[in-house]
Amino acid sequence: MGLFLLLLAACAGGPGDPGAVPAERFYQSAYGKIDELYLEPVDMRRLVVDGLIHAGMVIPSLTVTVQPGGGAITLAVGSRSPRTFALPDSPEASAWAHFAATVTDWTAAQAPDQAPASQTRESLYRALLEGGTADLDPYSRYSVPAAARTERSRREGYIGIGVTLEETPRGFRVIAIAPGSPASTAGLWVGDLITTVGGLPVDAAGGGAALTVEGVMSRLSGPEGTGVPVRVARGGTTLTLLISRQRIILPTVTAERAGAVGVLHVSRFNAGTADALAATIHRLRDTDAGSGPPTGWVLDLRGNTGGLLDQAVAVADLFLTSGPILTTVGRHPDSMQHYDATPGDILDGAPLVVLADGQTASSAEIVLGALVDGGRALDVGTTSFGKGVVQTVAPLPNGGELFLTWSRIMTPAGRMFDHQGLAPAICTSGQTDAGAILAPLRAQPRPNPGISGAAAACPAERDRPAAVDLRVAEDLLTNPPLLRRAQLAGQTLLADQPSATEGASGLP
């Protein structure tokens, strides 16, 4: 089994022509993986029939009718003669894969002459899996080959030069360059127009076909370490740059220093996040030697919708010296996982505040739960999104991918937060005045538990104003007695919660 993940994982690519994959092979792979990996046992009959019904709604020329009694289904393509297919009398995924392949091959053969059979097959692959996985849960889904390639590059990186392009009438304009990428090192500029790649024009000059943006990016890709000559128009001149292809991992970590506080922003969790965060912390410590290292830190996970599970574990482990990080439970034996911290705290025990909002989800919630339950951090903000399940990504023969929910997450304290989220120790929902938020802590030695609360009392909010949450965190980190009161309030509330063995899966 490959990487476990929240939303994303690493998978191998597929063949170049998705339509060349035989339907039987495609469905055997897809339905077999759903049957094996999904969190709960799957009714294959419902999955396939609902997929076909969905196909009848999204493919204009296709009409799908379930016969009375539900034992057969009739398909018609345009004005051609319909055909009725008996549904398998078997719960086995293989039987339903054979049925779906038979239906797909027949439909492709009926397609109009101007619609290639390979396109019809791929449309049916997509429709049957989109309609079927919609029955499972909000997170299980099918990703078509083109989208799967993009998603793989976001989570695992890609081999290229590190540019983003847009098509214009004059060529392909560079609209963004990844910092530190080969394109940046070679001297490519934003605004440059790419006219040739590898000595070949990107437009229709010379009788060749004009390329799409994807076609240009494909030419820019190649074996890692090889060079590609790129000719660009810049102002009134042209120049050719030899650019080395390297693995590009999109940046997910930024940071700044606010006086004595170091502020770390993590936007997602991809293959480079934990290493990038560690490097950023070390760099922030060394940028202003005269002031010394930050005495407190903020880990900003607002807007972080998730990413790779192994990176979430690695990020939490940076700050924890021992104890559990999370446990996952599911139907498949490999979905039962437990992760513990290893010795060493990259902050050497300096106080830490984590910011979360209604877009903090999945792997970001793993980090949040691990640091709070482990007593390592105080959380400030609003209740998080509440995606407490793990997906595994299954590669398909056509280059597409299946994202399948296969386990549930428990925080170190045994909390399950799916559909509920994790409520913060200090709630800022609906508030913009940091002083008012912290007033209950300042007013009494023993804080009013009302400053914290259940998810219902601290509703999730998206796109939080950055100023108030950061101000609260900075005020706490620069006032140790105030921070201690807030920590005690959070501990009191946590102790008041029922344990997981008592059937509680509510307030974190």
432 Cβ neighbours under 8 A, 6+ residues apart: 465, 467, 468
Go through 27-64 and write b for each residue having 16 or more CB atoms within 10 A of its CB, e for each that does not: bbbbbebbbebbbeebebbebbbbbbbbbbeebebbeb
Output the pLDDT for position 498.
35
Residues comprising the chain, all counted: 508
Report CA-CA distances (Å) from 416 to 277, 412, 498: 27, 10, 12
What domains, with CATH codes, occur in the chain?
Answer: 5-154 (no CATH), 158-248 (2.30.42.10), 253-391+407-502 (3.90.226.10)
Residues of the chain predicted below pLDDT 70: 1-20, 112-116, 204-210, 288-290, 444-456, 490-508
Q: What is the pTM of this model?
A: 0.83
Output the pLDDT for position 12.
30
Structure tokens at 6: 């929240």
The answer to whether the beta carbons of residues 82 and 63 sit under 8 Å apart is: yes
Cα distance from N-terminal residue to C-terminal residue, the chain: 31
Active site residues: 362, 373, 387
The amino acid that residue 477 corresponds to is L
Output the pLDDT for position 293.
87
Output the pLDDT for position 504.
28
